[in-house]
A and B are shown apart, each in its own frame.
Chain A
Amino acid sequence: MVMMMAPGGTLEMAKTVLDEGADAVYVGVVGWSRRGAQDELNDDEIRHTIDYALARGKEVRVVVNTLPSSTELPMFVERVERYAGWGAQGFMISDLGAMRLVKERLPHVNVHTSVGCGITNYEDVRFLRELGADYVVLPYRLSVEEIRQIKGAGKVGIEVFLFKTPSGGKICPGKCNMSSYFSFRRWLDTEGKDHFFGSASRGGDCLRVCQTEWNFNVDDIDYRMPMTIKTNPALWLEELPDYLAAGVDCLKVPGRDRSAVLVRDIVRVYRRAVDAILETDRPDLSVFATELEILRGRWMTERNKRDNRLLRQAIDESARVSAAAAAVTQ
C-alpha cells in the first residue's frame, strides 16, 4: 500500500494533514532541516506531533537532512535517538556519514535519503540501499520510465514528491550552492548548533537567488530579456497511476513553507485521488482537474510571496557584507 506523507511546517499543519487523511507527517527540526526556522518545529512540538500521530495509528518522519559540520554529528545522533525514543519511525537524512551512524545505533528506524542526496541514476540508489537506506527520495524531474528502472534495480522504497519540474536544467536541490555564494552567515544558537543562514544544504534557507532577474551575456552583450535561472516545480496528478504502477511506495505532498490551509486542501484532493486510483483499474482523474488547477494557482501565489521574502533577505545580507567590506578598505 502506498504511503501518503504530508508536511508539518507548523504544529497546526502537522495535525491538520493527519486529520485530512495523510498516512504520515514529516516535520523538520529547528536548525536541522533544509528550511528556515519558521517552517521547522521545536522539540515540544515534535513530541506533540508524534503523540498525536501515534494515537491515530499514523507515523512521523523527522527531517534532519542538513549537511552539518563534522563537529555537530554527536549532537545530530543525540537528537535522532531522542526522537526515535519518542516514537518517530523514520528520519530523512542527506549526509552519508550521518546515515551510517543512525543505522548503526538505531537499525530499526527507517532512513529516507533526502532529495539533497542528488540521485541521478539507479546505481546511486543501489549505493544508498547498501548503506542502509530504506527509502530513497527521488528528484522532482524523473520520468515514469526512469523510476521504473530504479525500482527494478533493487529492493528499496521509492518516494516521490507530488510536484515536479521538466527534465534537465540545473540540479536543485542537491547540487547547488548559489544561494550561499551571495548571502551566507554562520551563527550558533544556545545549544551550539550552526544555522548557516543562506545555505539550503546546511540548514539555512535557500534564498532563491535563481529567481531574481538575471541578464545572460555573451562577451558583455545582452542578447535576451532578463530571466530567472531555474524553473519552478508544479503540482502534478495526471501521471499518478503510472507512478504507482512503476512501484512508487511513498507519495510526498510538498509545502512545509506554505500555509496550513493550502496544504490541507492539497492533502484533501490527493487523498481522494490516491484512493480512487487504488480502488479501480481505470480511475477517472478528470474530476480533479478543476480543483488541481486552482491549487496550482494558489501554490504559485504563495511561492512568489515566499520567493520575494527570501530574495529580499539575500539582497539585504549581500548589501550588508559589501558595505562592511567597503568600510574596512576606507
Chain B
Amino acid sequence: MFELSTDVGNLKELREGDFSAYDAIYLGDFSCPEYPNNFSSHAELLEAGLQHVHARGQKAYLRLYAVPGNDDLAWVGDVIDTALQLPFDALEVHNLGVLRMLRERGCTAPIHLGVFGNLYTHETAKVLKDFGVTRVYPNPELSLDEVRYIAEHADVEVLVPVHGKIPLVISETCFILEHSEDGAEGACGDGSCSYQCTQDHWLKRGRGDGSRADWSLKDTGRMTLSGKDLCMVEHGGRLADMGLKHFYVHNKGEAPGYAAAVGRIYRDALTRAFAGEAAPDFTPALDALAGLAREGLCNGYYFEGAGQRYIGRS
C-alpha cells in the first residue's frame, strides 16, 4: 500500500530505539563519516545492522557518504565492496561519482538517490535511471505538484519526506568543531572528534533589540537543518490521491524516541488515508508533533512558498 521509512545512524541507536512503525530503515549518516560507528563509514558493522533490520521484517537501505573528496573515494569503495556482498534492499547515493562507482562495480541492488543529489526534473531522473537508480528524493525546494510530475513522467519511485527537519546544506567539515572553544586543538577529520554533536546546536538570527530570534536553523556539524519540523500529517489523503507511496521521516539529529513517536502517528494517519477513511480530527496528532518540534511545524516547500510556513488542511 505504502512504505514508511526513517534513518538510523549506528548499531547502538538501532538496538535501543523503537522503529517498529517503519517498513524500511535507511542505515547510516550520509553527512558525517566521523559520526560514532556510522554505518556509512564502518563496513565491519554493516552485516549486524542489516541482520537486525531484516530480522524485524523491514527493508534495509544503506546510505553512502554524500560528499566524498578524492581522498575519501578509497574508503567509500571499501564500504561499497562490503555492502555489495550483503543482501541490502538498496544503496542510497547523493554523489554522482559514487553512483558511477556502483555501476563500475556491477551493482545489481536497487539504488536510491538521496536528498543532496540535486534532483529537480524528470529528465534528470531518467538520466539517473540509466545508472541503476530506482528511487529519487527530489530536492526539498520542489512543490508537491513538481514531485508528482517526476513520479508520473520518469517512471521512478519518489521518496516523499513527510516529517522532520529539512536538510538545507551539507558541509565537508564540521561546523560545530570549527566554532567550538574546545575544538581548537583538532581539525575535523583528523581523528580527534569530540562528538559535540551529541548536544543540540542551534543557529539563531539575532535581533538588535535582544528579542526572540525570528530565524532558526539546527546544525548537526556537517549538515544544517531547518529549524522547524516539516509536517504533512494532515495531508495524507492528498498524498495518497496523488499516487505517491514512499514516505520518509527525518530522524537525524533528533532525540531518542522521536522516530518512534512520529512513526506511530504517521503509520496511523497514512493507513487511514490510504484506506480512504474520512480525515479525522488531527488536533491530538498535531499537538503531539508540535511538542516534539521546538521551533514549530512547517510544510517545507510543498505548497510553493518559503519553506518555514505551515498550512493545514483547511
A223 near B168 with CB under 8 A, answer: no
- Confirm or deny: A122 has a beta carbon within 8 angstroms of a beta carbon on chain B: yes
Q: Do residues B95 and A186 form an inter-chain contact, with CB atoms below 8 A?
A: no
Smallest Cβ distance from A23 to chain B, in angstroms?
Answer: 29
Main secondary structure of the interface of B (DSSP, over half): mixed
Residues of B within 8 A of A322 (CB): 214
- Residues in chain B near residue A17, CB distance under 8 A: none
Question: Number of A residues contacting the other chain (C-beta, 8 Å)?
Answer: 74
- Check if A127 sits within 8 Å of B96, measured CB to CB: yes
User: Contact between A318 and B149 (Cβ–Cβ < 8 Å)?
Assistant: no
Say whether B202 faces chain A, with CB atoms less than 8 Å apart. yes
Q: Which of A36-44, A211-219, A270-278, A301-309 is the contact stretch?
A: A211-219
Interface of A is mostly: mixed
Binary per-residue interface labels of chain B (191-235) against chain A in the complex, 1 for a CB within 8 Å, 0 otherwise: 000001001111111100000011101010000101000000000
Instruction: Tell me the total A-B contact number using a CB cutoff of 8 A.
Output: 217
**Contact of A174 with B by CB under 8 A:** yes
In contact, B169 and A182 (Cβ under 8 angstroms): no
Inter-chain contacts of B178 with A (CB < 8 A): 168-169
| A217:B201 contact, CB within 8 angstroms | yes
Residue of B nearest to A69 (CB): B146
**Cross-chain contact of A213 among B100, B168, B171, B205 (Cβ < 8 A):** B205
From 299 to 313 in chain B, residues with beta carbon under 8 angstroms from any chain A beta carbon are 301, 304-310
Q: What are the residues of chain A within 8 A of B306 when measuring CB–CB?
A: 180-185, 198, 317-318, 321
Nearest-neighbour CB distance to chain B for A165, whole angstroms, equals 11
Interface string of A270-298 (1 = CB under 8 A from B): 00000000000000000000000000000
Task: Give the residue name and chain of the A residue nearest to B127 (CB).
Answer: A96
- Asked if A123 is an interface residue, CB under 8 A from chain B, the answer is yes
Determine the chain B residues whose CB is within 8 A of the CB of A131 once the complex forms.
127
Interface centre among B120, B200, B219 (most CB of A within 10 A): B120
Say whether B123 contacts A168, CB under 8 Å.
Answer: no
Q: Judge whether A180 and B301 touch: CB under 8 Å.
A: yes
* B224 and A170 contacting across the interface, CB-CB below 8 Å: yes
B69 interfacial contact with A, CB 8 Å: yes
- Do residues A118 and B118 form an inter-chain contact, with CB atoms below 8 A? yes
**B43 beta carbon closer than 8 Å to chain A:** no
Given A169-B172, A227-B179, A123 and B100 contact (CB-CB distance below 8 Å): yes
A171, B169: Cβ atoms under 8 Å?
Answer: yes
Report whether B120 and A67 are in contact in the complex, using a CB–CB cutoff of 8 Å. Answer: yes
| Chain B residue at minimum C-beta to C-beta distance from A150 | B70
Residues in chain B near residue A130, CB distance under 8 A: 100
Q: A172 contacts which chain B residues (CB < 8 A)?
A: 169
Q: Which residues of A contact B304 (CB under 8 A)?
A: 186
Q: Are A224 and B141 in contact (CB under 8 A)?
A: no
Judge whether B125 and A97 touch: CB under 8 Å: yes
Cβ of A98 within 8 Å of any chain B Cβ, yes or no, is yes
B164 within 8 A of partner (CB): no
Answer whether residue A175 sits at the interface, using C-beta atoms and an 8 A cutoff.
yes
Shortest Cβ gap from B281 to chain A (Å):
18
Partner of B206, one of A167, A183, A226: A226
A224 and B175 form a contact (CB under 8 A)? no
Pair B121/A121 contact, Cβ less than 8 Å:
no
Instruction: Report the minimal beta-carbon distance from A123 to chain B, rounded to whole angstroms.
Output: 3
Chain B residues, Cβ within 8 Å of A168: 171-173, 178, 188
A149 interface hit (Cβ, 8 Å): yes
Contacts of B305 in A (CB 8 A): 184-186, 321
CA distance A151 to B224 in the complex (A): 31
Interface flag for B241 (CB, 8 Å): no
Min CB distance A112 to B, Å, is 16
How close is B228's CB to chain A, nearest CB, in angstroms? 9
Write out the residue numbers on chain A whose beta carbons fall within 8 Å of the beta carbon of B204. Answer: 214-215, 217
- Pairs of residues from A and B, 9 with the lowest C-beta to C-beta distance, nearest first: A97-B123, A123-B97, A168-B173, A97-B124, A67-B120, A176-B169, A181-B307, A124-B97, A127-B96
Q: A123-B97, A171-B169 are in contact. List 19 more A-B contacts (CB 8 A).
A: A96-B127, A97-B123, A97-B124, A118-B118, A120-B69, A121-B68, A124-B95, A149-B70, A171-B171, A175-B169, A184-B141, A184-B301, A201-B118, A201-B139, A209-B215, A212-B215, A213-B205, A215-B203, A319-B214
Sample of 30 A–B contacts (CB below 8 Å): A70-B146, A70-B149, A73-B123, A95-B120, A97-B123, A97-B127, A100-B127, A116-B118, A123-B95, A123-B96, A123-B100, A124-B95, A149-B70, A150-B70, A167-B172, A169-B178, A170-B169, A170-B175, A170-B224, A171-B170, A177-B307, A182-B307, A183-B306, A186-B304, A202-B120, A214-B206, A215-B203, A218-B196, A229-B175, A318-B215
